[in-house]
Every structure is written in structure tokens, then in C-alpha cells.
Amino acid sequence: MSTQRKPDYVANEISEDAIHDYLDVHPDFFERHPSLLSSLHLPHATGGAVSLVERQVSVLRQKDLKLERQLKDLIDVARANDVLAAKIHALSLQLLATTDLNSTVAAIEEAVRAGFAADQSVLILFGKESEFEDVRVGRFFRVIQRDDDALKPFATFLGSKVPRCGRARDSQLDFLFKADASEIGSVALVQLGENSDIGFLAIGSTSADRFHPGMSMDFLSRVGDLVAAALKRY
């Protein structure tokens, strides 16, 4: 009499992906098996072990802290934008109240210096000096012909359509700020008019981080639009 040998049972190992997919489809699995949940422990950074529930609580706390930091950053940005919007509004009112070119340039100088806390600034207008003899705003205001060789270091900027921020070349700093050039760490250059047809505004800071290429240019563009519109009246 012969006996038939039973086939050996070979257990198929379940892959991690299969476990992941199952739990993803059945999120209530641990609710139906609470004893299993309490028995699971995960390695901890301190070298010990914590339960899966404690680990989940820790992860949620970390997510909450991350979201809290993101919310704080958004609030800070919103507050800064409110401040900038208020300054642009104040500049608009100042420019509307001016009645001639001299008072307009004076209002721009005051807004840049006091309202926007510029360490150094200069308004460059293109034209003949004889056309602006009535303007008396000190070294903030300068007139030069568009094709003057002194403007060659600004050729790329003048050909662009957006403001430029960051560290400037020595030749640019020397032209703009003269004896104070060595004190300037960063500069914002703002076009006035389409293709800078009126001129440009330069705002200098002693801080190397005050103006940088990564900052938003919307605010500076709006200032440039306001200043250009006010100057075009004269």
C-alpha cells in the first residue's frame, strides 16, 4: 500500500507594497484590531521604542509646527505688503498734490528717503540740463542725455522691462552715488516710462541684503509707474 506524500506548504511572503496598499484601502483596519495597534512599537531617535500611536502623535505635532511656521510666514508677508501698499498710497497722494516739476521731484525725493528709508537715492532724467534749470532738489536729481557714454554701464538694464535689484558694478555705483559709492551694499534700479524713455530711479542701501534678485519686483514696478506718470505731466 503506497502513501501519497502531501506537498510541502510554502508561504508566500507579502510584500511591503501590498501591505501599504491594503492599509491605504482599509484605513479602519487598526480600529477593527485595536490590540494589534497597541502592540506595535517603532524605533525612536533616542534609541528606545515608542508605540505606533505615540509615533503618529509625534508626526502630527511636527506637521502642526510646520503649518504654524508657514502660517506665520504668510502673515508676515501680508503685513509687509500692507505696509508697502500704504506707502504707495501715500506717494500717490503726494504726487497728486504737486503742481509743477520742482514740487514733483521734491515729493519723490521725500517719499524715497523718508517713506521707503533709502540710504542713498538719485533720480536720473534724460534730456538737456537747460530744460530743468528750475528744479532744485540737490544731488537727488540729475539730468543727462540718453546717449551719454556715462550711461554705458546701464545699457543692459535700460534695455530691460523690469527693475533690477542686487549688487551693482563699481562703474554704476560711481556714476550714481559718487563719493558715497563705497557705502552702498545693494541697489534697486527702476525704469521710468516705456523702455526707460523718461529715465530711471536708483535706490541704494548700505545693506548688501536689502535689495536682491530674488525679491518681488511688483512693488518697485508700481513705484516706477507712479513716478513716470507724475513726471510726464510736465
- pLDDT tens by residue, 159-217: 898 999 999 999 999 999 999 999 999 999 999 998 899 999 999 999 998 888 887 78
In 10 A of CB 225, how many CB atoms?
15
Q: Establish if 41 belongs to a structural domain.
A: no
Supply the pLDDT for residue 114: 84
Within a domain: residue 107? yes
pTM of the shown model: 0.67
Give the residue from 84, 117, 101 showing the smallest Cα distance to 216.
Answer: 84
* 56 has a pLDDT exceeding 70: no
Identify the CA nearest to 176 among candidates 148, 147, 210, 200.
Answer: 200
* 110, 167 contact by CB (below 8 A): no
- CATH number reported for the structural domain that contains residue 204 in this entry: 3.30.450.40
CB 118 within 8 A of CB 203: yes
In this prediction, residue 75 carries a pLDDT of 82
Q: Model confidence over 74-118: pLDDT tens digits? A: 887 778 778 878 888 888 998 999 988 989 999 999 988 887 778
Following DSSP, what letter does each residue of 108-132 receive, concatenated?
HHHIIIIIS--SEEEEEEES-GGGG
| Residue 110 resides in a domain | yes
What is the pLDDT, as a whole number, of residue 233?
86
Q: Which triple of cell numbers denotes residue 2?
A: 503506497
> For residue 143, is pLDDT > 60?
yes
Q: Higher model confidence: residue 60 or residue 94?
A: 94
Asked, for residue 19, whether it belongs to a domain, the answer is no
- What is the domain extent for residue 78? 70-232
Quick check: is 151 in a domain? yes
Q: Residue 42: its pLDDT value, please?
A: 58
Confidence of residue 132 (pLDDT cuts 50, 70, 90): confident
Number of domains making up the chain: 1
Give bridge partners of residue 41 from the DSSP assignment: 51
Whether 196 is in a domain gets the answer: yes
User: Is residue 16 a part of any domain in this protein?
Assistant: no
| 188 neighbors 169 (Cβ within 8 angstroms) | no
- 79 φ/ψ angles, rounded to the nearest 5 degrees: -65, -40
Q: Would 56 be classed as within a structural domain?
A: no
pLDDT confidence tier of residue 60, bands split at 50, 70 and 90:
confident
